[in-house]
Amino acid sequence: DGGETWLVVLDRTMLTAIGLIGFFMLVNVVSIAHATLMARDPVPVTPEPGTRVAFLTTYVPGKEPLAMVRATLQGAVRLRHDGPLDVWLLDEGNDPDARALCAELGVRHFTR
């Protein structure tokens, strides 16, 4: 009967799709396991003298204390590099206290 042929086609299509999804899930697990086993500690890279370097840190007002941001920025400002070093605070809330802190420490402030 021709009326049930489309059901057979749909069944096979669904089984193929389910099989492919299972296959890709397996590939995903294997690739993540492989990447985890091959992971090594990063090798520190010293920038070439004269290269411009940017230090970026983020701040979400209300999610972290401003005192922690101050400590991070003070540490970043103390970094030494033989070339231009730009320290940026990426502020998610355009917080006036964060802007004042950046002005005090000589850090660039950016918000979106």
Residues 22-51 pLDDT 10s: 999 999 999 999 999 999 988 888 888 889
pLDDT in tens, 67-109: 999 999 999 999 988 899 999 999 999 999 999 999 999 999 9
Terminal-to-terminal C-alpha distance of the chain: 63
pLDDT at 5 over 60: yes
pLDDT score for 46: 83
Q: What residue segments make up the domains of the chain, in order of their start? A: 1-39, 53-111
pLDDT at 19 over 90: yes
Query: How is the chain split among helix, strand and coil, in percent rounded to 5?
Result: 50, 20, 30
